[in-house]
Amino acid sequence: MKNMNAKTKKWLAVTGCLALCAVLVVLIGQQFNHTKPVDDPLPLQSSEVSDVTVDPNLPDNAEKEVIVTPPDISQPASTDNGAVSNGTEQTIQRDVSKPEYTEEQLKDPTQKPDGEKVTEPPKPVDHDKVEKPKDTPKNDNQPQGGETKDGKIYVPGFGWIDDEGGGGQGTVGESDGDINKQVGNMD
């Protein structure tokens, strides 16, 4: 090996590695190649007749022949309870049929389309002319939001809470518009 130059040594090493890889690929491939299992042959049937013994202590009525009548298949029995079967497609229940109403039934204000009578016909309301209340009615017993008394402030939905004076803290955040970036510090 002293007479070989570096280039020859390198090519021998590469060739050896490739040969080793080829051998490994063949060995791994054989692991996936399974032989099909062979069925065991059936045992030979014996032509010997075994002796049958009858218990002599059995009563005579036990030896009567049992007659089984085959079911009548000339007419199919309907036990599907409404199920529909067309070959491979099955449904639990038949499709619901939507009732069809005439235009006269749909436009009659004195009854519903299914025939149920309406006690009072609906009155059309012009939504543009509905009067809106000017102020919300004040309840004398209930305090209004922001009202202070005895060092407490009334907040609707929370009731009377301690007025800590500061009214909260707010800062203006600077952002370049990316909603995924953190703005400010929550210390």
Quote the mean pLDDT of the chain: 76
What local confidence, expressed as pLDDT, does residue 32 receive? Answer: 83
For the stretch 92-106, pLDDT in tens is 777 777 888 888 888
155: its two tokens: 């907040």
**Can you give the C-alpha Rg of the chain in angstroms?**
47
24: its two tokens: 């490994």
Work out the average pLDDT over 56-65: 64
What local confidence, expressed as pLDDT, does residue 2 receive? Answer: 63
Q: How far apart are CA 59 and CA 56, in angstroms?
A: 8
185: its two tokens: 């510090």
Among candidate residues 140, 144, 138, the one with its CA nearest the CA of residue 157: 144
CA torsion 81-86-87-89 (nearest 10°) is -90
- Dihedral pair phi/psi, residue 128, rounded to 5°: -75, -20
